[in-house]
């Protein structure tokens, strides 16, 4: 229910603003920049996952635009494990960003918009469930695959930019590249991690 409520809130912000300027959409990749190890104990990087967003940009105070975004990430997992079976991890992303367009960085047909704000990542993990026999000591034991779906909420602080070059003028009023960093666990040094989104972005 809370997921639907949050979507409703964001859709409300996106589509029912009285001061709407433009819609936008982005398609790209997301990486969680966490410290994880590989099979030989060296630091490994999390895999790239596809990410899409839709959003709206509307006038706000102090020359800023309010740019709420609704996103979806299908997390790529690459572990080969016959014990665990299939599972899927997806995230719904709610971003409450503001856009600042410094005059110095605007040019004919494009410019740079600095993007900052806060957000929530709603990560759902679901496995196929059921028992599985695994090695244990000199014998075997029964273990259990994750069955029920669980949802984890993470707050983020966001910082990035939209660099617009009007790449596809036939479809979009403006388009370009979006780079955005998300800082997770801003208050907890042990759990602080960043995520990165690099996307093609188009404004309608």
Question: What residues numbered 131-170 form the site for other proteins, per CB under 8 A?
Answer: 132, 134-138, 141, 143-147, 150-156
Which token pair is 161? 């930019």
Q: Which of 71, 111, 119, 176 binds other proteins (CB under 8 A)?
A: 119
In angstroms, what is the minimal distance from the CB of 113 to other proteins? 20
Could you tell me if 56 and 202 are in contact, meaning their C-beta atoms sit under 8 angstroms apart? no
By CB atoms closer than 10 A (0-12, 13-18, 19+), residue 11 is: middle
Q: Which of residues 42-101 bind other proteins (CB under 8 A)?
A: 42-44, 46, 50, 52, 60-61, 66, 74, 76-89, 94, 96
List residues bridging with 93 in a β-sheet.
Answer: 71, 121
By CB atoms closer than 10 A (0-12, 13-18, 19+), residue 193 is: middle
Q: Which of residues 8-47 bind other proteins (CB under 8 A)?
A: 9, 12-13, 17-19, 27-29, 34-44, 46
In angstroms, what is the minimal distance from the CB of 200 to other proteins? 7
Q: Is 103 in the site for other proteins (CB under 8 A)?
A: no
In terms of CB distance, is 35 or 104 closer to other proteins?
35
8 three-class SS: helix
């Amino acid at each position: 229910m809370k997921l639907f409520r949050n979507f409703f809130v964001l859709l409300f912000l996106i589509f029912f603003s009285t001061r709407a300027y433009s819609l936008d959409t982005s398609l790209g990749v997301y990486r969680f920049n966490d410290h994880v190890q590989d099979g030989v104990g060296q630091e490994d990087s999390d895999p790239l996952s596809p990410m899409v967003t839709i959003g709206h940009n509307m006038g706000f105070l102090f020359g800023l635009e309010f740019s709420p975004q609704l996103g979806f990430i299908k997390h790529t997992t690459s572990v080969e494990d016959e014990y665990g079976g299939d599972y899927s991890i997806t995230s719904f992303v709610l971003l409450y960003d503001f856009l600042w367009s410094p005059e110095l960085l605007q040019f004919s047909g494009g410019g740079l918009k600095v993007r900052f704000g806060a957000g929530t990542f709603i990560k759902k993990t679901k496995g196929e469930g059921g028992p599985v026999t695994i090695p244990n000591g000199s014998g075997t034991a029964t273990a259990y695959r994750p069955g029920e779906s669980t949802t984890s909420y993470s707050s983020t602080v966001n910082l990035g930019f939209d660099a617009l070059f009007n790449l596809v003028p036939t479809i979009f009023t403006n388009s370009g590249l979006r780079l955005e960093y998300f800082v997770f666990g801003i208050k907890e040094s042990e759990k602080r991690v960043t995520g990165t989104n690099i996307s093609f972005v188009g404004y309608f």
